[in-house]
Amino acid sequence: MRIFKKKSNNKTEELARLKRCNIRLQIEIILLFLMLLALFLFNYNYTVFKVLISCGYTDTDALESIYSDTLGEKPDGAYLTDFDNAAIALFTERIREENGDGFTTLFKRGELSNEHAVMENDGSRTDFEMIGKNTGLFTLTTFSSSAYENILENTEAASACDNLIFDLRGNPGGTLKYADKAAEIFLPKGSIISQYAYRSKLLSKTVTSDNGNPISPKNIYILQDQNTASAAEVFINALRENLPNVTVIGETSYGKGVGQIEMRLLNGFGFKATALEINTPNGNNINHIGITPDVAADSEAAFDIALSLIKSTTD
């Protein structure tokens, strides 16, 4: 009798569990349906416009011309396939006309991947060498994962130097994350590296160093020119506004105090949009202003000036 009752209870519990699972599944299906319905209604106007133009517009020569101009290729009658990309390209073109933002753009098929490959290749040319008994020279061509790894590989040699020179002349920037990580190598724990302000305060963030044992040379010299920009300027400001022994030599930098978010789209396309302001550790923004050097000099003379300043401190 007891055995029968135990089996009956197990069966009841199993039926109750299946009933709960069924109810949960029904709720999830309803929620998914409501989300899809909301997505459709939110995009209703655009969807109707896209279908009518792509599938019904009579002047196909005009469509061919627009696709060719914006995407660099003809659709060959498949106007619906890349309609979104053509629309994005036209909108970003209008943005550039309105405010000169050349950084917000559609990447045509394969261009975004090519840009990343070029950046990593440039980053692999990051170099460190000793130029004297106590002086090390970092030549930073861009900020990328390969550049950061190169810096890490030379931290032991750099930590033994009394003087460090960072040559950022012609460095167009790269990835902000790796500029922050590179700066952290030389900044004590708690130092503010950079501040990123988005339109949404929830996304805004302040990046700080978590390095309990930074490389601390007696003197740091940074070389820059008019083409030193973006992530390179983040690196310079991080060191300059946190450390008392940094001297910036050269020309006023480019002045890019905004950053971009990039997304990969379908069919090999990509998109990049200016979506944040980049502020220095002290809360300044250098957009269209640049970094004023401590020692103004022509780009070609900056390195020799750094050597002469090093020599003057050792004589």
Q: What is the pLDDT of residues 203-213, one digit of tens each?
A: 999 999 999 99
Question: Measured between alpha carbons, how far is 183 from 235 in angstroms, rounded to an integer?
Answer: 6
pLDDT at 241: 98
The contacts of residue 254 (CB under 8 Å, 6+ apart) are 226, 227, 228, 229, 230, 233, 290
- Count of other CB atoms within 10 angstroms of residue 23: 10
The contacts of residue 247 (CB under 8 Å, 6+ apart) are 219, 220, 221, 222, 294, 295, 306, 309
The pLDDT of residue 1 is above 50: no
Q: What is the pLDDT of residues 278-298, one digit of tens each?
A: 999 999 999 999 999 999 999
Higher pLDDT, 5 or 71: 71
163-190 mean pLDDT: 97
The pLDDT of residue 79 is above 80: yes
93-102 mean pLDDT: 93
- Count of other CB atoms within 10 angstroms of residue 187: 23
> Which three-class secondary structure state does DSSP give residue 7?
helix
Taking the whole predicted model, whether its pTM rises above 0.75 is answered as yes
Of all residues in the chain, the percent with pLDDT exceeding 90 is 79
pLDDT at 41: 85
Alpha carbon 12 to its chain's center: 56
Between the CA atoms of 304, 308, 314 and 315, what dihedral angle is there, to the nearest 10 degrees? Answer: 140
pLDDT band at 95 (very low <50, low <70, confident <90, very high): very high
pLDDT, mean over the chain: 93
Looking from the CA of 261 toward its CB, the CA atoms found within 13 Å total 9
Phi (first) and psi of residue 194, to 5 degrees? -160, 165
pLDDT band at 230 (very low <50, low <70, confident <90, very high): very high
